[in-house]
Amino acid sequence: MPDEVRAIRAFNRFYTSQLGLLKGHVLGSRFGLSEGRVLYEIANRGSTSAGEIARALRLDPAYLHRILWKFSAENLVATSPGTGDRRRNRIALTPEGDEAFAALDSASDAAVETMITSLDPAERQSLVAAMEAIRRLLGDPPAGGAVVLRPHRLGELGWLIHRQGLLYNQQFGWTIAFEALIAKIYHEYEAAPATPPKALWVAERGGEVVGSVFVVPSDGRPGTAQLRMLYVEPEARGMGLGRMLVDQVVTFSRANGYQRIRLWTQSTLESARKIYTAAGFEKVDEEPHHSFGKDLVGEHWELDLTSPSPLRGG
């Protein structure tokens, strides 16, 4: 823990210096850091209250009142009566406030553009991803938006191997032998011919990879597809993403004339097994084995695509 604390403090010192936050005013404006943040909050909320701002920014109400009083004296904000409670008075920017915010916002954009101008596109993308990860891990996830399923891109096979190797180690204690196995599995997928049909889907939300799965023909079983490497990032679990990925495999397999889908999983992977059950898969056999540093029970599951689709639960 002490090493992590020192590293975080070092980053904070570096970043506050990069943004010029140690100066008395923000970007050469007449606003202090807290004042600029309050101005931003009012501008982006359109109409708000002192209570809403105080809660959002975790500001002392008396300190916030002094900032709002200053804004009012400079004709940057206007206050309209609330419904019977002065604490609910609505606050909005005046035309002068809009102009002041626009100038500050433009200066902020220019400062950040200057800061990243020496980075190439890949480096900028890495920087943004790292910042989004910081927000997510500290409890302020960026608005992710809808999940998009798409084919994989160059470099993402390595990423999928990396992420799944780490996640299975962290959650189940599986060793590097698992990472070596899935590296082989992904290589086999990429090397497989286009016919019989195969497909790999990456789930993306807010520009980040949050899951994936792929399907290939099952070796030695004509008419059978193999579902492989279903994975969902921890922060995306509970959203139905695993089910969405499995549904994609089922739809693809039906459309391409497969008669059944087969998969191999482990008895300890309870969340995945629930998804397979909901999709209509049934366990057909199991066998104990020692792999990845653990005593496991491997299970084969199958879905018959020649039968009507099962009723789906909620």
* CATH number for position 42: 1.10.10.10
pLDDT over 90 (residue 285): yes
pLDDT over 50 (residue 266): yes
- Answer whether 150's CB lies under 8 Å from 210's CB: no
Q: Are 287 and 247 contained in the same domain? A: yes
Its pTM stands at: 0.59
With respect to residue 60, please indicate whether it lies within any of the assigned structural domains. Answer: yes
Give the separation between CA 260 and CA 167, rounded to whole angstroms: 29
Q: Rounded mean pLDDT of 107-133? A: 79
Element containing residue 95 per DSSP (H, E): helix 95-116
Q: Are 164 and 20 contained in the same domain? A: no
Give the separation between CA 267 and CA 270, rounded to whole angstroms: 7
Structural domain including 98 reads 2-118
Q: Are 41 and 157 contained in the same domain? A: no
> What is the predicted pLDDT for the residue at 20?
64
- The domain tally of the chain equals 2
Give the separation between CA 151 and CA 126, rounded to whole angstroms: 20
With respect to residue 211, please indicate whether it lies within any of the assigned structural domains. Answer: yes
With respect to residue 133, please indicate whether it lies within any of the assigned structural domains. Answer: no
Give the separation between CA 79 and CA 87, rounded to whole angstroms: 11
Q: Among 118, 140, 164, where does a domain finish? A: 118
Residues written for the chain: 314
User: What are the C-alpha distances in Å from 1 to residues 22, 167, 199?
Assistant: 27, 21, 43
Q: How confident is the model at residue 311 (pLDDT cuts 50, 70, 90)?
A: very low
Q: Are 298 and 155 contained in the same domain? A: yes
The CATH number of residue 280's host domain is 3.40.630.30
